[in-house]
Chains A and B, each alone.
Chain A
């Protein structure tokens, strides 16, 4: 079979898009595409980070993504304090927060030898508490220029989508064209063999856990700027979302095999499928059941194709 696993995510996204537009007899197509690109961007950014971690192999996953988003968004917006011209200060604060959280996660995993699931989950409680403690849940508005940028567009495409696209290309280049990408894939396929082959496996893991936290922090900064302020529960839906887009996108959940285009397609799909079900007036229960069923169907389709390759 020559079918790439990411085809399924893109096909599903296209079908969901078509089904929704059908309802409006073609009227809202542009509007829907624009919304999908805007909101898909957040899922794509955190999904790319999660993909790198999952590629590290069995047991590697970052569950602190929601808390990272919340803490980075909260600290960045507090630092900016609605003053114009502080967008880059806020970005620096968010990225530095991301780096710090990534370091903390890796220290827990490496020095204390905690399983990543436990380490990141425990750390996320601390990050969430820090976010609560630092601002008690008060929503501070982003500076006007930053708010305009995050909700604005360039050649008809949302600025956020350009950022996500840029990051996707960067990650793709890193994975496919650099030695570090080969190291990551090799570590994920067989950590022991990789170590014996002279690959600095711990350094690769460290860099990966730092990357995912920085990606989450960036997503948190952008989401807070986009939606008019950081909220304490703003990252909540991105925990399962980040893992879902990786799996739907055709990356192997067992690691050692990543798929950048699939993550983008899956991020668009996750927004479109909910929009489609909302547009057809499905109730909350039916919506959850259908979303789950569709995700399982795509994962099965994508994985059977791969195993026959």
Chain B
């Protein structure tokens, strides 16, 4: 982990020196709507590391993170307005709502502030969007399940937080995958809110009414809870797709060592904040950047499990920190 980080820092240093002239006096703010889970904490930490290194290297003058306390759109809109008044040159935005912040985002654009939304994006056309193809993530889960269990069977789907676009998108991909691999049938679906304890409770409640389950398709942050619920009910452990949380990866490694358990793990890396930072830097440097960018999701397979476990802090989320070159590659890919 350390060598990778040092490597990334060196790279950033070299890259920073080359690009510093255009953005050395620019100030970037992160407007974040929520900090109440391990994923968001890892995101804030990655941003902090990237930003403080960039400030120390003179790439930008300032890069500050702000999180709203109540996860409310009104609060975040006010926060964005404050950032405009404070004279930031770019705002990175993880938004509480895809549409409710559009007014504030438009105000920022009109004031000449670049707005780059990522993870939870906004629809306002003047903003940039760094999005994950969550539908594709759902499809890939099903492709993997089908490759492991060609004879098919009954599936349990664990969804995320009801009403959030990410939940709809992943679920859509999963249902498309089920349509493609018609030997599978989703016999039950629960909302796990991307939290192990909520997923555990929901799965424990629906399991008694379900037939034998061959696989559980998930959205991340819910796989360990599902495994616990199956164990508590005395049922055989099905194929559970994991979501990159350290406790999920650790459980997977333990099962693998005990009985050769095989699965995959997929989620969006919290390091997307560092990618957003470098994209913002490129925009401020005057680069031509398309408004719609796609960030790859982070997939861990059986062979990569040990390496991923080694680099993931206890209790956190598997992560990658993106460099300036990664940002350039993403930008080039979208052109």
Proximity bits, B185-202, A CB within 8 Å = 1, else 0: 000111101011110111
What A residues does B87 contact at CB under 8 A? none
Stretch in contact with the other chain, from B35-43, B121-129, B282-290: B35-43
A291 at the B interface (CB under 8 A)? no
- Docked complex Cα distance between A237 and B194 (Å): 13
A29 CA to B208 CA in the complex, in Å?
7
A221 to chain B, nearest CB (A): 13
Please determine whether B41 and A137 come into contact, CB atoms closer than 8 angstroms. yes
| In the complex, residue of chain B having the shortest beta-carbon distance to the beta carbon of A232 | B36
A2 and B200 CA atoms in complex are apart in Å by 40
Q: Which residues from chain A contact B245 at a C-beta distance below 8 Å?
A: 139
Bound together, the chains give a CA A229 to CA B208 distance in angstroms of 25
Tell me, yes or no, whether A136 is within 8 Å of chain B by CB.
Answer: yes
The residue from B36, B42, B163, B316 contacting A284, defined by CB atoms under 8 A apart: B163
**B38 contacts A232, CB within 8 Å?**
yes
B interface residues, how many (CB within 8 angstroms): 44
A24 touches B37 (CB 8 A): no
Question: Bound complex: CA of A136 vs CA of B42, how far in Å?
Answer: 8
B195 to chain A: which residues have CB within 8 Å? 231, 233-234, 236
A231 with B37: in contact, given A125-B69, A139-B315, A281-B188 (CB under 8 Å)?
Answer: yes
Known: A138-B314, A228-B228. A28 touches B209 (CB 8 A): yes
Residue interface mask A186-207, B partner, CB < 8 A = 1: 0000000000000000000000
Cβ–Cβ contact A279 & B188, under 8 A: yes
**Residues in chain B near residue A128, CB distance under 8 A:** 36
A106 CB within 8 Å of chain B: no
B311 CB–A CB distance under 8 Å: no
B7 within 8 A of A: no
List the B side residues contacting A229 at CB < 8 Å: 196, 247, 315
A140 within 8 A of B: yes
The answer to whether B207 has its CB under 8 Å from any CB of chain A is yes
For B188, list chain A residues within 8 Å (CB): 278-279, 281
Q: Which residues of B contact A23 (CB under 8 A)?
A: 209
Question: A31-39, A49-57, A112-120: which lies at the B interface?
Answer: A31-39
Contact of B22 with A by CB under 8 A: no
Using an 8 Å CB-CB cutoff, how does the interface string of B119-152 with A read, 1 for contact, 0 for none? 0000000000000000000000000000000000
Give which listed residue, A24, A231, A232, contacts B209 with CB less than 8 A: A24
Partner of A274, one of B40, B196, B205, B228: B205
Cα(A66)–Cα(B1), bound, Å? 35
B312 to chain A, nearest CB (A): 11
Taken together as a complex, chains A and B put the C-alpha atoms of A34 and B198 apart, in Å, by 17
Residues of B within 8 A of A231 (CB): 37-38, 195-197
In the bound complex, CA of A139 to CA of B191 (Å): 21
Is B206 interfacial (CB-CB < 8 Å)? Answer: yes
Is B102 interfacial (CB-CB < 8 Å)?
no
Say whether B204 contacts A137, CB under 8 Å. no
The answer to whether A303 has its CB under 8 Å from any CB of chain B is no
Q: How far is the CA of A125 from the CA of B35 in the complex (A)?
A: 12
Query: With A and B bound together, what is the CA distance between A27 and B233 in angstroms?
Result: 13
| B201 with A228: CB separation less than 8 A | no
**A32 and B40: CB pair below 8 A?**
no
CB neighbors of B among A133-155 (8 A): 136-141, 151
Contacts of A139 in B (CB 8 A): 38, 196, 245-247, 314-316
Q: A23-B209, A28-B207, A39-B204 are in contact. Are A140 and B314 (CB under 8 A)?
A: yes
Q: Which residue of A lies closest to B42 (CB)?
A: A137
Would A20 and B38 count as touching, CB distance under 8 A?
no
Complex CA distance for A21 and B209, rounded to whole angstroms:
7
Chain A, 236-250, contact with B by CB distance < 8 Å: what is the 0/1 string?
110000000000000
User: Does A12 have its Cβ within 8 Å of any Cβ on chain B?
Assistant: no
Shortest Cβ distance from residue B201 to the other chain A in the assembled complex, whole angstroms:
5
Q: 9 nearest interchain CB pairs?
A: A28-B208, A275-B205, A138-B315, A284-B162, A137-B41, A139-B315, A227-B197, A279-B209, A35-B204
User: Can you report 6 A-B residue pairs in the complex whose CB atoms are below 8 A from each other?
Assistant: A32-B208, A136-B41, A137-B35, A229-B247, A231-B37, A231-B197
Residues in chain A within 8 A of chain B (CB atoms): 20-21, 23-24, 27-29, 31-32, 34-36, 38-39, 125, 128, 132, 136-141, 151, 223, 226-229, 231-234, 236-237, 271-272, 274-275, 278-279, 281, 284-285, 288
| Besides A31-B234, A279-B205, 13 other A-B contacts (C-beta < 8 A) | A35-B207, A38-B204, A137-B41, A137-B42, A138-B38, A138-B314, A139-B196, A140-B315, A227-B197, A272-B205, A275-B206, A275-B209, A278-B190
